[in-house]
Structure formats: C-alpha cells, structure tokens
Amino acid sequence: MHRRDGESVPVWDSGVRAFHWLLVLAIAASALTGFVLGRTTLAWHLAAGVAVAVLVGWRGVWGLLGSTYARFASFVFPPAAVLAHLRAGAHRRLGHNPLGALMVFALLLVPAAIVATGTVTLGGLLKQGPLRAFLCYATGRRWLDVHNVLAILLLVLIGLHLAGVAFESWRGRENLTAAMLTGRKPALPPADAARPARAHPVAAIVLALGLLAAGAGGVVALAALPGRGVPPAARNDIFDLQCGACHLAFPPSLAPAATWNAILADLPHHFGADASLSPDQVAAIRVWLDANAAEHWDTLPAHVLRVAAAGSLRISDTPGWQRLHRTIPAAVFAPGRLRHSDCGSCHADAASGMFAPQDIDIPEADQ
C-alpha cells in the first residue's frame, strides 16, 4: 500500500518504551550511587540493581510475547546483514537495524552480568543477599573487580549507543530519540517487511509476575541462611560488662587473637587507663577472644582489620581502619566530638561486627 510523505506508523509499543526509559533511570541511579556517592548509599545502589534485574527480565519476556518489533525474532541478523548495514546505502528498517540489534543485546547482557557479579560480590564480601551462605570473602573480592570493569564497559556501550543513535538519525533523516518517546516512525521510504506479530500483554504480565514472585521467594529464602564464615553470635558477660562500661564492647572479630592477647597482657596500662581484672576473669575472656577472633571470621571487617598497626594495638591505627575512614572529615573526630572508638555512633550494627554500609550514618559529616 502506498503511504504519503510525512505519514508515520507505530513501531515501538508501550512495553518497549517503558522498559527503555525506566532502564535509563535505573542505570543512572546505579552509576550515581556506585561511582559518585560511595558505600553509604549501598541500599540505593542495591535497589537500583534490583530494578535493572526486573527490567531486563521483563524485556526477556516481552521479547517473546510483545508486538512485532519488540520481539527478538524481528532483529536477529546474520553477520552478513551487519556488514551490509555498515556500507553506505544500507536500506532503512522500521525496527532495529543490524548494528542497533547488536547494541540492544549488549545492553541487555552486560547489565545482567553486572547484576550477577554484584550479587556474587554482595554475598562474598558483605555476607548479604542470596549467595551469602555459599561464597567466601576472597571470591567476593575477586568478583568486585569484574563488577567494576563491567560497569565501566556499560558506560562505554552507552556512549557508543548515543553516538549510534545520533549517526543513524542523521543518516536516515529521522529522529530515533523521538521515536522511542512516541513509538512512531516515518513510513517512507519503504522499509523491511517484518512478519507481523500480535502482542500478548496479559500473558506477558502473568509470566513476568510469576517469575518475579518465584525469584523474590528464592532470594528471601536464601538470604535467610547463615553467612559463610559468620559464626553464630556469641557474647561474654565479663567482656561486655567490663569493656562495655567505658566504650563499645568491640566484637572480637575486629582483631586477631595476637592483638587481643597483647591487650589482655597489659590491662593495668590499658590505653592510659587501669582496666585490671582478676586472673580468672582474664583467663575466661582470653578463651572467648581466642575462639572468636578475626581468624575465625570471613567478613570484610575481619579481613581488613586483622593486619595490626606497627607499634600500636588500637584498631583505629590499623591500615585497614585508616583506609576505610580516610574520607571522613577531620571535624567528626575533633576533641569533644566523636572518639575513634565510638563505632556505634556511626554504625548502627557495630555490636554485630558486620558494619554493613547501609547502616552507616556519620553525624554532622558535612561540618
């Protein structure tokens, strides 16, 4: 059928357009919280990651049950088609052209890989999420590097995508950004004749919700399992009473057994105070500290803080503590404000020894 100049036809349905722009927002939030705002915004970073996972999952469902140009079958091209499109004069397509199709798949697979490596990192490094019971700290640490590399790769792909949209809009004399907003493209000149396919929105929504419910249930069940290398909570009444009277009764996982034994060996001169205890009390505390020291934990604080400071027994003098707190304004620890030992003032979960980034709230950090 002949179409008049200026006439447009529907191409991108609401499922594709909603996915596209919501994914833009989710990735922007992930990048902002991951690259700019730091670890105290981890809760928002995780929420953005969950949004990315849900959106990519939805696109997978809609790629099977959506309308004509939403379906993966409409933009799976052989290598020859990609090469032909690179040559000047390659014919225009209503749906994704071969290069655009490659970018679509890349922008689905890379975010999915980022979510996967982020989940591994979360489970091994922070002992959170559905993999916390299965992964060690070293695994989480290695995959954090992969997670970061993939995040940078995604930014590169986004840059190439924007450049490609601008180039194809110029070459094809059509506004591709506007098309993703309105869902419509110019009908002329004649383009590809894709096999029409009817969308099945109800089936897609039911399938997506079913997958979401099953996935969420699995995540919740797995996240409830004990973290690997996180021993059950064990307290010592003598330690809590005697040490907690002056400062936080530090979780034993924050220092190796050698450090704790050195501290117990000189309690009459305990960092400028007399903290003497009876021999029986010291013996009981020593047994408990030896059994629960950093060597027995596989958490990030235990790994980072187990390297003692040269010539000092203070946890706050360890290289790991100094590195983790290097961005804290000096005013926070000014005289009359917080002491370095006041962990609970910034970490809501300090007593557990986990020190989750989501539980950090630095008082008056902007002053």
- Give residue 114's pLDDT: 98
What is the CATH number assigned to the segment(s) 8-223? 1.20.950
| Number of other CB atoms surrounding residue 217 within 10 Å | 10
What one-character-per-residue DSSP string does 38-80 give? -GGGHHHHHHHHHHHHHHHHHHHHHHHHS-GGGSGGGG---HH
CA distance 323 to 316: 10
34, 78, 147, 222 from 160: Cα distances, Å: 21, 21, 20, 38
CA distance 93 to 312: 69
The amino acid present at 151, given as its one-letter code, is A
- Give residue 2's pLDDT: 46
Q: Collapse the DSSP code of 330 into the 3-class scheme (helix H, G, I; strand E, B; otherwise coil) and give the result.
A: helix
Cβ pair 347, 360 in contact under 8 A: yes
The amino acid present at 105, given as its one-letter code, is F
Q: Residues with Cβ < 8 Å from 282, sequence gap 6 or more?
A: 264, 267
Q: Rounded to the nearest 5°, which phi and psi values hold at 311?
A: 75, 10
CA distance 293 to 252: 5
- Give residue 333's pLDDT: 84
The end-to-end CA distance of the chain, in Å, is 70
- Give residue 142's pLDDT: 96
| Number of other CB atoms surrounding residue 88 within 10 Å | 5
Helix H, strand E, coil C: the string for 3-34 is CCCCCEEECCCHHHHHHHHHHHHHHHHHHHHH
pLDDT digits (tens), the chain, 367 positions: 444 556 888 899 999 999 999 999 999 999 999 999 878 899 999 999 999 999 999 999 999 999 999 999 988 888 887 787 777 655 677 888 888 899 999 999 999 999 999 999 999 999 999 999 999 999 999 999 999 999 999 999 999 999 989 988 887 788 989 999 999 988 766 556 677 889 999 999 999 999 999 999 999 999 999 999 999 877 888 888 888 877 788 899 999 999 999 999 989 988 888 888 899 999 999 999 999 999 999 999 999 998 888 888 988 899 999 998 888 888 888 887 888 888 888 899 988 889 999 998 887 644 4
In the chain, what are the domain boundaries? 8-223, 237-359
Give the dihedral sign, CA 12/15/17/19.
Answer: negative
7, 19, 302 from 166: Cα distances, Å: 22, 20, 50
Question: Is the entire prediction scored with pTM above 0.85?
Answer: yes
**Nearest CA to 140 among 122, 156, 152, 128?**
122
Q: How much of the chain is in helix, strand and coil states, percent to nearest 5?
A: 60, 5, 35
- Residues linked to residue 270 through DSSP beta bridges, in sequence order: 273
**Nearest CA to 61 among 101, 20, 27, 15?**
15
